[in-house]
Structure 1
Amino acid sequence: MSEATQPLVYRCTVCHAVYSAGERFCPLDAAPIKPEDQHSDPRIGKTIDGRYFIRRLIGRGGMGAVYEADHVGLDKRVAVKFLSINKSDRDALARFRREAKIASRIVNEHVVPIYDVGTADADTDFIVMEFLEGRDLAVTLREGGALDASRTISIVRKVLRGLRAIHQAGIVHRDIKPANILISPRDEDRDFVKIMDFGISKSIHGGETITHTGAIIGTPEYMSPEQLLGDDIDARADLYAVGIMMFRMLTGKLPFTTETTFDRAAAASPYVPVPSLATIKPHLPRELVVAVEKATAKDRDGRYPDTQAFLTALEAISTPSHVIAPKEATERTVSELGAADTKMLESTPPPPGTQAPPTSVSQPVAVQA
């Protein structure tokens, strides 16, 4: 695709989620949806570092922008992530560079691999990653609502296998959430999983920590109490996030919001437990309810001791072959805005007189920006 044929992107003016042509207002925040012309992007159509020809923008996030690109010498499609934070922010730069270093140590089919790292110019670092076709789990939940128990277990087992490799490498991810879980078909598996984004991860052993104790980094709706309070964390914080993610997958909504100080206090309080799935979804297998409750224990000593223990518990649960649960009416809270953290671009609007493709069609995505 040449620069001259780059499609328009239709983006919410508030949360920046991306939608297909024809949508007027964002269902998450009722803000107007307006076209964003990629012609104005100075990176598109240029070759970076003499090797990577930038084709189009995939998405933007808090730490940067991700583009589809071609490796000129290898004729290989890749994703290139550019840092958007000022060079003077040394902590952010260190986190960005460590993302490549950390991910390069992890070899697992459920973790997005990193190919290269470099500097595009005097002011911009970049990471080259695997280019992936699919949708993040946040989009799947936003468009389809809650999932059934079997599909939830199937997806989360793969997440835990990838997370096990991350933890074995001595790393806490710190931002496990649906927007960082890519779902794409592979062979007979329609829900093949890749864990994305190591921008705020930290060493379990503490030697490579970029942020200081007391700094709150991550997505509050999925943070464990100790992470919300800025305390030291370990791998069990990631397991808590997986448990909260499962709660959302099974119910279509989050157990807590963090919109107000009171909401955040409730989420962090050891005296306010996560609502029981047994009362919200009484038909769920008891073993699944127990697994989620254990993963989301407010006291980390009450959680699974490690990823393998959590995975073993889920592998012991028998459920019928999964069927997508009917879309449920879900409560749209500010926590749902986390679904927009990974923005994906839609296809070019169809010519007049033709029918637009369904929004559920997989789109190319890459590691969250």
Structure 2
Amino acid sequence: MALQLNPGDKYEKFEILSVARKYDGSWVYRCTAEGYEQPLAVRVSLDSVQDEDTARRALREITVLEELTNTHVIRVFDSGMGANDHWHIVLEGLDGARLDHWHDFDRPMPAAQAVGLIHQACLGLAEVHARGVVHRDLKPGNLWVEPDGNLKIIDFASARGFGANALAGDNVTTQHVLVGTPQYAPPEQVYSSTLTTASDVYSLGVILYELLSGHCPFWADRPRSEVVRALADDPVDWMNAHVKQPIVPLREHASCVKVPENLADLLETCLAKKPEERPKDAGVLANSLGWVLHHELGQAPVATMLVTDPGGGVAYRMVPPGAHRVGFGPGLDIRLRVEGDDQPWALLEWEGPPKQAELRVLDGGRTITLNGQPISQRAAIGAGDELGIGGFTLRLTYPRA
């Protein structure tokens, strides 16, 4: 019998306050627990773990979340196996609502607000992609908007690692079984057994298109809700559209006539049928959206980075809001010198003012310092702080508020 808890119930050390969200295999509860001062949520499996596949699915989400530190990804505090072999994950308690509850998707959202939300999702996902993990089920129901407008990705149950980063014995091969939600699934799910970070970019592109237009990308004559109702039980029609139908150009919608051309072109690229024609990952998309926010929508001033080389020479780098790969190769976003490979040393994430940028170390074997002290994982970069990377000194200047 499925374990379904009610307000007032006790589960392990948790006092259940309310049911927050319901998933197919687990429920999330608001709760209190001894030893925690902040509001909590606990995700508990409905059924006990009775086979290896169930255990791997639980371990996968725990493995992904425990190592993430981004403010745009839900935090995990603990995990374990409870009575009768039900797994649980202890998460931060969130105020706010899912994006599809927070916003009526039949009503177009102002471009700056829509781009800003998806930009935040990209910042959260950039760390995930940098770790070699694909989310595989990005949709409005898995994006949470807090009262202050901060967006968090809240569900990684479908995530997979690839290559050396495979999680719990998994990888991103799908064996031609539909993964995630058909409305947001990339076309390669039909013809390929492998998903990449560009697959997540496609899903974010669909969400952004819907936010901007109030329509699904393939039907101009019906509002989004009408299409969703009509195809609720027909994943085949969704996948046929993703694979075969061209998207309706964004600016053909009356509400999108004034959307900047560069934004419309970027969105069309995100929704390319072939993954290799899209931005390759969320970090690249974050930087492109940051450019649009600054240059086209006037929403995000840029910061300036002063780079001093070991010989005392100086150079300047413009840093728009985004997720910037820092290192020594020509293919990186913030390159310290021309020669070198494209393996990034760190990820510099900046949402724009009034937030501070944060540096996420990507290779624990390389020494990066902040004001002379080694950084082990993530650190906020204040005005006047000095970063040391491979003999180079970096200093970030923020725009005036």
TM-score (normalised: structure 1): 0.69
Equivalences for residues 72-111 of structure 1 within 5 A? 72-85=34-47, 87-111=49-73
8 Å CA contact retained: 1:82, 1:126: yes
- 2: CA distance, partners of 1:194 / 1:42: 25
Is the 8 Å Cα contact of residues 67 and 79 (structure 1) preserved in structure 2?
Answer: yes
Question: Which amino acid in structure 2 is aligned with residue 264 of structure 1?
Answer: W
1:266 maps to amino acid: N
Tell me: CA distance 1:46–1:85, structure 2 relative to 1, closer, same or farther (3 Å).
closer
One of 142, 146, 149 as aligned partner of 1:191 = 149
Equivalent position SS for 2:146: strand
* 1:154-209 deviation line (CA, Å, top 9, x unaligned): 11111110010111121101111111111113xxxx32111110101000326332
> Structure 1 counterpart of 2:271, which letter?
T
How far is 1:142 from its partner?
2.6
- Write the letter of the residue equivalent to 1:310: L
Higher Cα radius of gyration: 2
**Aligned 1:12-23 pairs, distance under 5 A:** none
Task: Give unpaired runs (5+ residues) of structure 1.
Answer: 1-39, 323-369
Partner residue in 2 for 1:65: 27
Alignment root-mean-square deviation, CA: 2.4
Counterparts of 2:200 and 2:23, CA distance in 1: 21
Tell me the residue number matched to 2:297: 319
Normalised by the length of structure 2, the TM-score is 0.64
Provide the rounded CA distance (Å) in 2 between the counterparts of 1:143 and 1:308: 25
- Who is 2:11 aligned against? 48
Cα deviation, 1:234-288, whole Å, max 9, x if unaligned, reads: 100000000000011111232256554662342242x422221021222211011
State the SS of the aligned residue for 1:55.
strand
Contact preservation (8 Å) 1:273, 1:297: no
Q: Indicate the SS of the match to 2:96.
A: strand
SS at match of 2:39: strand
Closer/same/farther in 2, CA of residues 41 and 315 from structure 1, 3 Å limit:
closer
Secondary structure (helix, strand or coil) at the match of 1:92 reads: helix
Deviation at 1:145, TM superposition (A): 2.4
SS in 2 for 1:191: coil
- The answer (yes or no) to whether the contact 1:220–1:228 under 8 Å persists in 2 is no
Identity %: 25
- CA shift at 1:61, angstroms? 1.7
Distance of aligned partners of 1:42 and 1:62 in 2 relative to their CA distance in 1, 3 Å threshold:
closer
Separation in 2, partners of 1:59, 1:89: 25
Find the counterpart in structure 2 of residue 263 from structure 1.
237
Partner of 2:206: 244
Residues of 2 paired with 1:143 and 1:135: CA distance? 14
Give the 3 Å change call, closer, same or farther, for CA 218–89 of structure 1 in structure 2. farther
Partner of 1:278: 251
Distance 1:115 1:228, change over 3 A: farther
Mind listing any 5+ residue stretches in structure 2 that lack a counterpart? 219-226, 301-401
Counterpart of 2:18, as a letter, is R
| Distance in 2 of aligned mates of 1:69 and 1:144 | 34
Change (3 A) 1:106 1:160: same
Residues 228, 268 of structure 1: 8 Å contact kept: no
Q: Residues of 2 paired with 1:203 and 1:321: CA distance?
A: 34
Q: How many residue pairs end up in the alignment?
A: 277
For 1:193 and 1:144, locate their aligned partners in 2 and report how far apart those are by CA, in whole Å.
20
What code does the residue aligned with 2:241 have? A
Residue 179 of structure 1: which of 129, 141, 146 is its match?
A: 141
Q: Any conservation in 1 of the 2:99–2:144 contact (CA below 8 Å)?
A: yes
Contact 2:106 2:214 in 1 (8 A): no
Q: 1:83 to 1:314 in 2, by over 3 A?
A: same
1-structure distance, mates of 2:74, 2:193: 28
Partner of 1:118: 80
- Matched to 1:200, the amino acid is S
SS in 2 for 1:308: helix
Q: 2:288 aligns to what SS in structure 1?
A: helix
